[in-house]
Amino acid sequence: MSLGDHLEALLAPIPAGQSTPSEITRPAPAHAPKGWEPGVRYEPGGAMLVTAPAAEAPPQEETGWRARVEELGLVVPDGYRVRLVEARHDPAAWHRDAQGEDAVTRAVWRCRYVIEPSAPGWSSAEDLSALVRDAMRRRRKPRAAAEQPERAIAVVYADPQAGKVGRDGGTTELVARVADRFDRLQDHLRDLTKVGRAPGAAYWLDAGDCIEGFENVTSQAFTNDLTLTQMIRLHRRLTFEGLDRLAITFPRVVAATVGSNHARVRRGKDAVGPPEDDWGIEVMSQIADAYGRNPDAYGHVSFVMPEPWRDTVSLDMAGTIVGLNHGHQYPRPEKAPDWWKGQSFGRQPIADAKILVSGHFHHFRAQQLGNGRLWVQAPTLDNGSDWWVMRSGEVSQPGLLVFSVTASGWDDLRIL
């Protein structure tokens, strides 16, 4: 075939249905890698993140970015701009436009654009600095005189364990410590009055373990400085003193107590009788009987003790339900939240409590739970738990826990 024939063949039209060599060998466009599938993701605040299909190199200015986005059928709202946020080569999607040694390889780009408000909330550091400056230099508006809500104070008398001898002494030291805390309580009440948050009622919450006892463990028989009846007598007189101070200060006083492990009537380590067979509950009953003899002086003092076969109580304090338990119902303090949840499901006395107060573990702890509930673990008033120090290295700090309550919650929590 002559050169002219070859040229004529090359220039001849291609019959219908026949493809060019480049069309036959050109590979199909590569699938988009994971995460780069074309689409739109709507972000908080009204922004849109647009992943565009593979294309040539992205434009270098917003006009081109906007055109790419609008090619996808998206409308950029007024007051919004288009910004290129990411552009990547996709090597797996490169292909040749034609066969032969003179073929040209064209790179494919994958791009992401964001459609966002033209004027962001904070367009510069200066704007943010001005916001902080103006807020901090604003003149405070005088508070309107608001009617003070009903307010009550909780005084948590926990774990004195009368008769116990430990690193912090014995009966002499316990009495001095309790007397000092009662004096601090009067100072605290004076402070609350000065700041306009004086409570109108007082709640004496005896969280249990009023005496050390002899029957829990063998060592108790050799580490006490009082007999059993002396322990009970001392606890009764200390409680009388604390309640008398509240009774002459407040027009309404409520005294509550619960059963506990040290005060439980026992034979050896075994409990005798129902949960209310407890020396702490018995002492509170004695005080209630004594106050009942003098209604002129103590008619405004009432008493709350567990129902038969129960060892928890709940009280309505200024519109907030406060529950009281000792804490021996669970093996360690971390289990208190689960135990409280179970009590709620079982519709026990503390089921509706918003605040739960407990003792037993001899250290302060406060933990918020659920939707606005608070568990408060009270510190101890005793002479020290040396066995726990030797076991864990943790030293409990004695104190009298107080906090105030209104219908909207609690405040003024202190350890005296």
- The arrangement of secondary structure in 152-415, i.e. its CATH architecture, is 4-Layer Sandwich (3.60)
* Amino acid sitting at position 91: P
Instruction: Name the DSSP class of 231.
Output: H
Instruction: Name the DSSP class of 45.
Output: G
Beta bridge partners of 302: 254
Nearest-10 crossing angle of helices 279-292, 228-247: 50
Please give the Cα distance from 85 to 129 (Å, whole number).
Answer: 27
Our CA angle for 400, 402, 405, nearest 5°, is: 165
Please choose, from the candidates 174, 324, 332, the residue with its C-alpha nearest in 3D space to the C-alpha of residue 260.
324
Tokens for 153, please give them: 């104070």
Please give the Cα distance from 319 to 321 (Å, whole number).
Answer: 7
Three-class DSSP category at 83: strand
Please give the Cα distance from 334 to 318 (Å, whole number).
Answer: 29
Please give the Cα distance from 157 to 368 (Å, whole number).
Answer: 22
Tokens for 105, please give them: 């390889």
Contacts with 361 (C-beta within 8 Å, 6 or more apart), sequence order:
327, 332, 333, 377
Three-class DSSP category at 325: coil
Q: How many CB atoms lie within 10 A of CB 215?
A: 18
pLDDT, tens digit (0-9, with 9 covering 90-100), for 79-122: 889 999 898 887 656 555 555 555 555 668 889 999 888 876 55
Please choose, from the candidates 343, 326, 332, 237, the residue with its C-alpha nearest in 3D space to the C-alpha of residue 290.
237
Residue with tokens 């005080």: 287
Contacts with 3 (C-beta within 8 Å, 6 or more apart), sequence order:
none
Nearest-10 crossing angle of helices 228-247, 171-194: 10
List the end-to-end C-alpha distance of the chain, in Å, as a whole number: 115
Please give the Cα distance from 84 to 109 (Å, whole number).
Answer: 13
Please choose, from the candidates 81, 387, 72, the residue with its C-alpha nearest in 3D space to the C-alpha of residue 212.
387
> Contact at 8 Å (CB) between 80 and 117?
yes
Please give the Cα distance from 149 to 196 (Å, whole number).
Answer: 11
The model's pTM is: 0.69
Per-residue pLDDT of the chain (416 residues; tens, 9 = 90+): 443 454 354 445 545 444 444 443 444 445 677 878 888 888 776 788 888 888 878 888 999 999 988 988 888 888 889 999 898 887 656 555 555 555 555 668 889 999 888 876 555 566 778 888 888 888 777 777 667 889 999 999 999 999 999 888 999 999 999 999 999 999 999 999 999 999 999 999 999 999 998 877 777 777 899 999 999 999 999 999 999 999 999 999 999 999 999 989 988 888 888 989 999 999 999 999 999 999 999 999 999 999 999 999 999 999 999 999 999 999 999 999 999 999 989 899 999 999 999 999 999 999 999 889 999 999 999 998 776 677 667 778 899 999 999 999 999 999 99
Beta bridge partners of 183: none
Please give the Cα distance from 377 to 405 (Å, whole number).
Answer: 16
240, with CB counted inside 10 A (0-12, 13-18, 19+), is middle
pLDDT, tens digit (0-9, with 9 covering 90-100), for 239-288: 999 999 999 999 999 999 999 999 899 888 888 889 899 999 999 999 99
Domain with CATH 3.60.21.10 in the chain: 152-415
Residue with tokens 């002479």: 383
Please give the Cα distance from 59 to 3 (Å, whole number).
Answer: 47
Question: What are the Cα distances from residue 26, in Å, to 103, 212, 319?
Answer: 12, 92, 80
Please give the Cα distance from 101 to 285 (Å, whole number).
Answer: 107
